[in-house]
């Protein structure tokens, strides 16, 4: 099933992002997280792509679909040549994968430039156009930022690429994580005013620790509200910070659901505890179907 059909059915979806394992030492943790969260009735999930372990991404996507009967979407980046990209897309269709998240991909490290594998696949919009233009029947998702990405000179530059992805054929968008809902609402308002009608799914991450927060804000450009940052600074330890992160994310979700968002997409970092607590509260308040 195409994910866009789930997003337009009239009730909000719940989805999780899983990170493809970097090596064998991470496989067991990931497998436990997938099994645990599968029991909490997600509508769909996505699996990130790593060039070095790309086959594991594809294997995990098909395993989730077949074993747990959950719609699973593979991330795909501009880290491959056009021929290799075709090979991967052909494999997806052959194995029954119905959706792909077309991304440019991350640079090697903070401050380093991204190096595309093919001069004609430099941006996420190029990959969207490649998938759509080559006749693949896949549903296509793309990423966007609610705030200015560290690599973008300004929000207008960011919004221009959002439009290009939609014009190239993206069925829906998922935002980078944000901690202040005003950025999401502003993005949606701008998109609708520009005639962009595809679903825009908010991407959410409950703060797990000071170290993790510093890393993700540096990579994504997300800002932390002053009140939340003050509470984090005053927290005694990471367990207290984790509790603050869960509580703040619940408040975000409540406001987003009351505003009628098409779904909630949680960046799990392959940990199940926080998403389970958040969903338990939202379902207890009857804001989400059980």
Q: Where are the beta strands (DSSP E) in the chain?
A: 13-18, 44-47, 71-76, 99-102, 139-144, 172-177, 200-204, 263-267
Query: Distance between alpha carbon 244 and the CA centroid of its chain, in Å?
Result: 22
Count the alpha carbons within 13 Å of 251 in the hemisphere toward its beta carbon: 12
Residue in 44, 13, 32, 48 with CA at minimum distance from that of residue 219:
48
Residue 285 corresponds to which tokens in the numbers above? 């308040």
17 is catalytic: yes
Q: Are 103 and 109 in contact (CB under 8 A)?
A: no
Q: What does the alpha-carbon distance between residue 261 and residue 252 come to, in Å, rounded to a whole number?
A: 11
Active site positions, annotated: 17
């Amino acid at each position: 099933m195409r994910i866009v059909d789930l997003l337009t059915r009239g009730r909000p979806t719940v989805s999780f992002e899983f990170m493809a394992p970097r090596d064998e030492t991470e496989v067991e943790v990931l497998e436990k997280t997938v099994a645990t969260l599968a029991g909490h009735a997600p509508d769909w999930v996505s699996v990130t792509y790593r060039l070095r372990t790309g086959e594991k991404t594809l294997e995990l996507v098909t395993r989730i679909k077949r074993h747990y009967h959950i719609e699973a979407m593979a991330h795909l980046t501009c880290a491959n040549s056009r021929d290799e990209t075709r090979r991967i897309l052909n494999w997806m269709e052959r194995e029954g994968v119905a959706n792909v998240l077309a991304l440019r991909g991350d640079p090697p490290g903070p401050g380093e430039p991204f190096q595309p594998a093919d001069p004609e696949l430099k941006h996420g919009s190029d990959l969207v156009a490649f998938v759509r233009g080559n006749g693949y029947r896949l549903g296509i998702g793309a990423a966007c930022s609610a705030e200015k990405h560290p690599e973008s000179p300004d929000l207008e530059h960011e919004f221009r690429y959002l439009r290009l992805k939609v014009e190239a054929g993206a069925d829906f968008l998922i935002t980078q994580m944000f901690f202040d809902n005003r950025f999401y609402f502003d993005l949606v308002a701008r998109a609708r005013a520009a005639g962009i009608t595809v679903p825009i799914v908010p991407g959410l991450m409950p703060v797990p620790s000071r170290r993790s927060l510093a890393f993700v804000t540096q990579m994504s450009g997300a800002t932390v509200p002053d009140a939340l940052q003050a509470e984090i600074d005053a927290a005694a330890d990471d367990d207290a910070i984790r509790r603050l992160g869960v509580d703040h994310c619940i408040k975000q979700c409540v406001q987003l659901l009351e505003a009628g968002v098409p779904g909630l997409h949680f960046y799990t970092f392959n940990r199940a505890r926080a998403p389970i607590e958040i969903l338990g509260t939202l379902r207890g308040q009857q804001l989400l179907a059980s």
